[in-house]
Amino acid sequence: MMEIDALEGRIIDFALGLRFEDLPPAAVRAAKMRVIDSIGVAMAAYLAPPARIARRLAPTTTGGRAARLWGPLTPTTIDMAAFANGVMVRYLDLNDAWRTKDAHHPSDYLPGIVGVAEAFGRSGRDVVVALAVAYEIMCRFTDIVPFNTAGWDQPVTGAIATAMAAGKLIGLEREAMAHALSLAVTPNLCTYQTRAGELSMWKGCAGPNGARNGVFAALLAAEGMTGPFRPFEGIFGIWNQALAGKSYDVSFGPGSKDGPWGIVQTNIKTFPVRDSCQLPIMTALQLRAKVAASDIASLKIETYKSAWEGAVKDRELWEPKTRETADHSMLFSVICALIDGGITPDSFENNRFLDADVLGLIRRTEVEVLDAFTRATPAERNCRIHAVTKSGETVTAHKIVTLAEIEKGMSDAELEEKFRRCVARTFDVRRADAVLAAAGALDRVETVDGLIDLLAV
């Protein structure tokens, strides 16, 4: 018998114990909303170079269990479907996010979970529960464990969450789930260099690769593969190797049915940029209503520490050379919004971040971290921008977003508008209507096959 430490036991028991009946209506709605959002942003990125690369590498399978690539609908291995479909979801940086002590993009892993459900013929309700499991694990690790600060990237916990969701869908028993957990942890430590300095295509692929690894771990465990014992507490376990020997007490699942579920809490994005750049764009748009960008002599952005660390600190963010760096740059986000009135995927396709007017205003901008703003996080996020005009007048915009507002999220109408905008290049109106209807009925279908059928491009 495999020795299971306390944290492993909590993860496994939460995953195996959660039932559809345990979820409040808000969590079920949130799961369906994130399926809709993920399909939308995936279709918007269908022709992106990393998405094409991932599809080329996915082998076509003719026997055994398989999941389909979104778009061509060719069957491939489940783990490669997790990767290729996940790359589409992640590429535009328009999918959902959760930021407290660390940061995460839980829907990076959603296609992997849907792919396992497709391959094993699981119901839509099963998918909703598996998504709730994965989101809860990712969000609660993000709340407690400072992996990013220690130099480790999001897929460390994303692989764990995917393995547990996949294992539940496959029907693994407790000991097999323990092996799946270990096989997700020990082989797959990945560093934060993915998100440091000048960023590459891999920035949008790291999470999907974590999903791929989590799916593969569950499939290995299903076939009887055993994993290293004590992946957290062992002498070379993740606490000692990754976090200087400090262990963390993480719990999963809210205290009551209506408590704060991770899948309800994540932020469905409005703009295709890093989560910590969403608020600065909104603040910049407020400022734009007061002053014309052409009349601005200089800018000062006031923000909180974690936003500065992720979106300002690296010198490359002040003069991005790649679209991946640009969509993580608070400087580009603010200046593009001020000049153009917003940011869309076209802003990056047109290499707006290389233009002289954008770079010129960036060079006339300073950023300050305010202790008061830092202390207020994560309960509320602040951004204040001061513009000094060419005549010497100072014009200010200040916006605050609370965790409660983030949890409230988009309305159904707002999400539908975003979805239709994202799929405009790949689906006609009738197909978009059908996808929205199928995803909205996810908790009432016997399999996800009908939804996937609609994703043909």
Domain regions of the chain by residue span: 6-268+412-453, 275-407
**Angstrom distance (rounded) from CA 77 to CA 67:** 6
Percentage of residues in the chain with pLDDT exceeding 90?
94
Q: Is the pLDDT of residue 259 over 90?
A: no
Q: Give me 189's structure tokens.
A: 């430590």
Q: Which of 210, 226, 141, 120 is nearest to 177 (CA)?
A: 226
**Angstrom distance (rounded) from CA 391 to CA 258:** 54
Q: Which fold has domain 6-268+412-453?
A: 2-methylcitrate dehydratase PrpD (1.10.4100)
**Angstrom distance (rounded) from CA 277 to CA 311:** 7
Give 275-407's CATH code, choosing from 3.30.479.30, 3.40.50.300, 3.40.50.1820, 3.30.1330.120: 3.30.1330.120
pLDDT at 101: 84
pLDDT at 403: 84
For residue range 266-283, list pLDDT tens digits in order: 999 999 999 999 999 999
Q: Give me 355's structure tokens.
A: 């233009």
pLDDT at 256: 65
Own/partner pairs, 445-449, CB within 8 angstroms, 24+ separation: 445/123, 445/124, 446/123, 446/124, 447/117, 447/118, 447/121, 447/122, 447/123, 447/124, 448/114, 448/117, 448/118, 448/122, 448/124, 448/127, 449/118
Q: Give yes or no on whether 6-268+412-453 and 275-407 have one common fold.
A: no
For residue range 307-344, list pLDDT tens digits in order: 999 999 999 999 999 999 999 999 999 999 999 999 99
Residues 436-442 have a mean pLDDT of: 98
Residues 98-126 have a mean pLDDT of: 96
pLDDT at 3: 83
CA 322 to chain centre: 20
pLDDT at 63: 86
pLDDT at 407: 81
Residues 139-145 have a mean pLDDT of: 96
Dihedrals phi, psi of 189, to nearest 5 degrees: -70, 125
For residue range 69-101, list pLDDT tens digits in order: 999 999 999 999 999 999 999 999 999 999 888
- For the chain, what is the total number of helices (H) and then of strands (E)? 22, 8
pLDDT at 180: 98
State the average pLDDT for the chain: 96
Q: Is the pLDDT of residue 398 over 80?
A: yes
Residues 279-304 have a mean pLDDT of: 98
For residue range 378-397, list pLDDT tens digits in order: 899 999 999 999 999 999 99
